[in-house]
Structure 1
């Protein structure tokens, strides 16, 4: 486990290569950028959501050619990955895997070579268990053989699924995925390692094991599938009663809980961009792309590339939005505010700009006003610029806003299920948009928002998210937290209760990779409990318990468990 994970914000312009090296040095992940396999989230194509088991040589040859012809490679989509069902149902007599010769008559080494010759990087699928999810041979007990074969065939990316594990325990997953990490790391040319382990713990009644798996996958690989598949083309095979939009919102909703784990070289993966699914409107498809890019998530298309329209290719190759996804800070945008119809997200970018993403979850087009303070700007100080430049990343049009005349940003006519996305800059040469981490604090199990309830005697409550100032918290460098409803008062712990009070006493907090927010004085954790009438309390810290895991705004320093061994029981089932 790294000594410290830091979600950094920058206020200076730093060249991208130097920034990556600097970030990695701070994170303790590498002594040089060359040691990091994938400093930026991968982009490319995978067959599963669109074609499932109907993969073959012709599909991949034609898709490779189409991605080149349509400008997708030039835009950054440089990976072509095979998924399940590429092999026969049995291994060879010597234990090795081989390819299905009916599907791949010229062989996978030939296909990998073809993909590389066109400028792409080939990837392959296997499963950590005894059988793959579709019933083909798994890699359990054959890890060294399979890894060597994949490398010899020319593949440079491996997706490791998690079906059919012998016992299915969290400890078993950790050992098997750790074994793969060890094998892949010793290769002359280490592969990008995509882990699916978290997805097998994501929807339990008790999420402790999900959080545990999420805490170790960054040690082993470059990306990890954290929850369900995006909706496959034949949706009734999986979820007969779910719409395409439901599928996007589900995986989006899982992603926003996990921002503390992401860092340069590791990315939370909300699964494929199945942007040609028949159940999506055009605005929903564009939202799918814009939200994933706001998260700096992997952008892996699972679509009929040959049939993509010019309009679809245009938005998928939008250079401004791809730049947000591929920004070297790779911050995962976090929730500024949330309500029934609206989600507002933000993050910092490497040159000092700020991202603003607005999701209209409602069923009609509507306007929204976002105060500048909501995205972390501290107004009326000498550091506040007099003007801001705001670029609409869909249209490419920019406008300059005078902050003396406008305390908020008005966005007009966002379509139903549409997403507006803006890049905010300080127009002064070489200057950044200086911000303080600001947004909701919510329990990642119940999704309740921490609320400054001044009408209830200054006590703090857990309530449904409504986007009020009383639910938007500013987290200062000294560890104090204040709601925008009353920034002169702070979140304090007193006799087991959480209150809004004097910022000088019992008001400093630390945030851990476990998701615990811990008072520095009492060493107790912020806790949600229904037993106290939805009041927030402090309690002895458990280990990644449902009632104590919370998400904080992007930009907050995130400490690893090892930073305070006295707080947690680190035995983790005896490990």
Structure 2
């Protein structure tokens, strides 16, 4: 028998635990799970940037194998997305999309099964018009049947473009939001968690509505190209959009061009800035032929940690001095990542103060160069020499 004293003590303990579980301060509450079930910015590989329409099922399988062999899967690159041109020119007798019988003879369900067996996730492509950008059948007015088809094939990701056909490259006469809302509802109705990539190109400000229609990520620009002016131009278009990013809803400045002809400095610049923006990282190179420099860029753990950390929000531009810029991003542990950019062609010195990037006063600061390792502690300023078309990316902690 339990004595009365211990009985009352046990009851009091249970009540105390119950109150502690019930009462959670608003600033401690966890956010609601995103519509797709995706916890952080998606990472993976997409066929378009390197291969365009020249794809087939063996190429996709080879890229999936290479993601595993290269260590990219373990680093977080888990989605394998088959872009435009996977579909036959006609729907089947039941009105469903079907795989191109020449290039994907085994069908998309078999391809998805293969990708899943590699511990990866399967992504697929369609468009909000009646035709894709390459003139293949797309999903306008077929949202329900296509969403269910994708789910039946085991798709985990849908890239949903905004082309109508080659002749008229975007749907006409209807707000983009309405098109994307229909597909978002159709995806939810399947009951399968599918990352929904809204590729409206930024013309109708998808950052203002894409999350509300089920989008996990939304394109903020037209297509990215593997050249310096295009990449820096896209970066310029991200200024001011940081307030729209949130857990489960990410600004998308388009896929990575790392390994597609950029210089080493440009690759590091590109990778750093997309990570600072908490952008989805979708590699677009040929993983089977990746050189060591490209692999090192895509697999840099210090930089990937920045992309995954949304504790204090997306990175943003602090200062624009013409060819040089200063960007910053607060991290969950109280450190700040600062990116010192050089858009010119000659090496220059770029610096900032700890106070400018939001760090508290301290006698000195620990500094980690994300590309070159630990640096000596310093009282400030923070900076150094930055190569042309390059970035100096530092993670800084105050030492107390």
User: Given the alignment, which residue of 176, 188, 198 partners 1:173?
Assistant: 176
Contact 1:39 1:266 in 2 (8 A): no
Q: 1:263 aligns to what SS in structure 2?
A: coil
Distance 2:303 2:135 in 1: 38
Q: Which residues in structure 2 correspond to 1:101-500 (within 5 Å)?
A: 101-164=101-164, 168-169=172-173, 172-199=175-202, 201=203, 210-211=204-205, 213-220=206-213, 221-231=215-225, 244-278=227-261, 280-329=262-311, 331-377=313-359, 384-402=361-379, 406=380, 408-411=381-384, 413-428=385-400
Distance 2:93 2:68 in 1: 39
Distance 2:308 2:27 in 1: 15
Distance 2:351 2:273 in 1: 19
Distance 1:84 1:178 in 2: 21
Distance 1:107 1:167 in 2: 28
Q: Report the Cα offset of residue 65 of structure 1.
A: 0.9
CA offsets, 1:265-288, max 9 Å, x none? 11111111111223x211111111
CA offsets, 1:88-116, max 9 Å, x none? 11111221000012111221111111111
Contact 2:36 2:195 in 1 (8 A): no
Q: Report the Cα offset of residue 398 of structure 1.
A: 3.4
The change in CA–CA distance for 1:64 and 1:259 in structure 2 (over 3 A counts) is same
Contact 1:42 1:299 in 2 (8 A): yes
Q: Report the Cα offset of residue 172 of structure 1.
A: 2.6
TM-score (norm 2): 0.88
The change in CA–CA distance for 1:152 and 1:23 in structure 2 (over 3 A counts) is farther
The change in CA–CA distance for 1:93 and 1:187 in structure 2 (over 3 A counts) is closer
Distance 2:376 2:170 in 1: 58
Distance 1:116 1:218 in 2: 27
Distance 1:114 1:328 in 2: 32
TM-score (norm 1): 0.62
The change in CA–CA distance for 1:307 and 1:140 in structure 2 (over 3 A counts) is same
Q: Report the Cα offset of residue 388 of structure 1.
A: 1.6
Q: Report the Cα offset of residue 341 of structure 1.
A: 1.1
Contact 2:36 2:193 in 1 (8 A): no
Contact 1:194 1:224 in 2 (8 A): yes
Distance 2:26 2:103 in 1: 46
Q: Report the Cα offset of residue 34 of structure 1.
A: 7.7
Distance 1:179 1:397 in 2: 50
Q: Report the Cα offset of residue 367 of structure 1.
A: 1.2
Q: 1:372 aligns to what SS in structure 2?
A: coil
Q: Report the Cα offset of residue 71 of structure 1.
A: 0.9
Distance 2:64 2:27 in 1: 34
Contact 1:353 1:425 in 2 (8 A): yes
**Higher normalized helix content (fraction of residues):** 2
Contact 1:40 1:330 in 2 (8 A): no
Q: Report the Cα offset of residue 399 of structure 1.
A: 2.4
Distance 2:191 2:39 in 1: 18
Contact 1:357 1:419 in 2 (8 A): yes
Q: Report the Cα offset of residue 154 of structure 1.
A: 1.0
Q: 2:293 aligns to what SS in structure 1?
A: helix
Q: Report the Cα offset of residue 63 of structure 1.
A: 0.6
CA offsets, 1:12-52, max 9 Å, x none? xxxxxxxxx987957xx62xx48662221011100111110
